[in-house]
Each structure stands twice: as structure tokens, then as C-alpha cells.
Amino acid sequence: MVQPEYPDLSVRRQCDLLSVSRSGYYYEPVAVSRQELALMRRIDEIHTKQPFYGSRQTARALRREGRTVNRKCVQRLMRVMGLEGMVPGPHTSKPHPEHVIYPYLLRNVPVVRPNQVWAADITYIPLESGWAYLVAVIDWHSRAVLAWRLSNSMDTDFCIEALQEALRHYGPPEIFNTDQGAQFTAKGFTDVLRSHGVKISMDGKGRCLDNVFVERVWRSLKYEEVYLKAYADLVEARQGIGQWFTFYGRRRPHSALGGATPMEVYRGAVRLKAA
């Protein structure tokens, strides 16, 4: 869809209009066997259902299904997929060694209103002949998905693009919380937050369960949309995921929100009772 020879629009501008990161446009995927893609999808299904499983438990679960696989293979694939078990430990997060790590700001802080705290996370999306990564910016109080981007590489650009879209449409939150992944600790990402006066919070050891509600969004997305489809490519995935996010935000009742939708709570049409 991007036409590099087009005289009136640069590649950068075309990527912006198509919601495609430039690094994703230039990325040339390496062929992966169908057997390995099927194994990666199954690992993702196991992780979505039991996000506390690390590579050891995931390998055991696969072997119980009759698959011949060792832990080293599972570790490698989970690393490619960006998956980690939600268990506190010495290697809960692996930040880039040259990136600044910000302190965790949400200890004992009640989140009681929209735009008080936003969070971002990345998840793996299986495709027919490969995979993609999905990032979403979510309002912590309402569970509303404010912006998202899909990319075929685990870069920083698509995370920045999602963040900029959320800020453009909804204004800045007071606090932005993420894990210590390299995409979120990158200077380009944190500079956008600091330029809008947003306080930056990052999960450290022992904080891996803070974003459980984000994992619940991923689980709903995958069981209600992704696993029911066989996306051929990024175009199909983007269309299907976009339709589901619209349904999730505006029409799907949420039990944790008293039967309201995330956007009803975010817009203030429904107020949650204090816990």
C-alpha cells in the first residue's frame, strides 16, 4: 500500500496515514515453518489462559499434550513473542541497559477517576504466515482502550504512535504506568510523556500483577476475536481488531464496571461506586 515513488507524499507521511510504523514498512520477515507458527500460537493460548506460566511450566503443558518440545525452545519462542510469566522474580522485567528507569508511583494510590492513570502493554498476535505485535493505551479506571497500533516488529515507533494518538484525542493523564520493557523506557517514548507533563511510573520487581486488568483485555480480545479468526496478514488483523475494540469500548457490558461499557465510564455517563 505504501508507494515509495509517489511524488506528493513521503514514505513517512504515507506510513502515518496508514497507521504503519516506518520500521515495520522496511522490515523483511524471515520465513518460519508452519509447525513453529502453530507452536507459537499454542504457547500464546496457554499464556493467555495462564499468564503466570513461565517457560518451564509452558513446556510441561505442551509435553502433556504430546508435543516434543524442550524448555530451551519454549524460552526462545516466548522471547520472540514478548511473553513473560507474571511471577515476581529476579528477571521480571528486562529493561534496556542504557535506558532510564523511572520509579513506581502507584503504591497504595487509589485510582478513582478517568485520566488519573493510563497504562500501556504489548501482546502477540498470530497471523497465517507470521505474527504481529499489538500495543494498546488503556485508561486504568474505566478500562477504556484509548489508542492502539499493530506492527510486525517489536520496535518503539508503533508504541510512540499509539501514545501520541491517545494524547491527541483525550489529553494527558496524570500518571502513565508501564513495565520496564525497552519500548517503554526508550527516550523517544518517555520524552513524549514528559513534554506533556505526565508523571512516569514503571513496574519493578514484585509489581507484576498491577496490570492484571490489561491482561484481561488481552484475554477477552483473543478469545472473542483473534482465536476465532485466521488473519492472513496485518490488514485483516488491523480490521478485525479495530472492530472488536469498538465493540469492547462502546457496546460490550463489563462486569467489573457494574454492567457499563468502558467508554460510558470514561465519558462520565456512568460513575463507579467507591470500593
Contact 178, 120 (CB under 8 A): yes
Same domain, 204 and 153: yes
Q: Which of 26-40, 203-217, 253-267 is predicted with the least confidence, judged by mean pLDDT? A: 203-217
Same domain, 122 and 255: yes
Give the per-residue pLDDT at 93.
45
Q: What is the pLDDT of residues 58-83, one digit of tens each?
A: 999 999 999 989 999 999 999 988 88
Same domain, 75 and 126: no
Confidence class for position 27, pLDDT limits 50, 70, 90: low
Give the per-residue pLDDT at 151.
94
Distance CA(171)–CA(271), nearest Å, equals: 20
Q: Is 139 exposed, middle or buried (0-12, 13-18, 19+ CB in 10 A)?
A: buried
Same domain, 140 and 215: yes
Is residue 96 assigned to a domain?
Answer: no
Q: Which set of grid coordinates corresponds to residue 177?
A: 504506568
Q: What is the pLDDT of residues 124-165, one digit of tens each?
A: 999 998 899 999 999 999 999 999 999 998 889 999 999 999
Give the per-residue pLDDT at 92.
35
Amino acid at 38: A
Same domain, 124 and 257: yes
CATH number at residue 234: 3.30.420.10
Is residue 136 assigned to a domain?
Answer: yes
Range of the domain at 224: 117-266
Residue 216 has pLDDT above 80, yes or no: yes
Q: Which set of grid coordinates corresponds to residue 11?
A: 514514505
User: For the chain, how many structural domains are there in total?
Assistant: 2
Domain end: 37, 64, 81, which one? 81
> For 41-47, which contacts have Cβ atoms below 8 Å and span 24 or more sequence positions?
41/126, 42/67, 43/74, 43/77, 43/78, 43/81, 43/83, 44/81, 44/83, 44/124, 44/126, 44/222, 45/222, 45/227, 47/78, 47/83
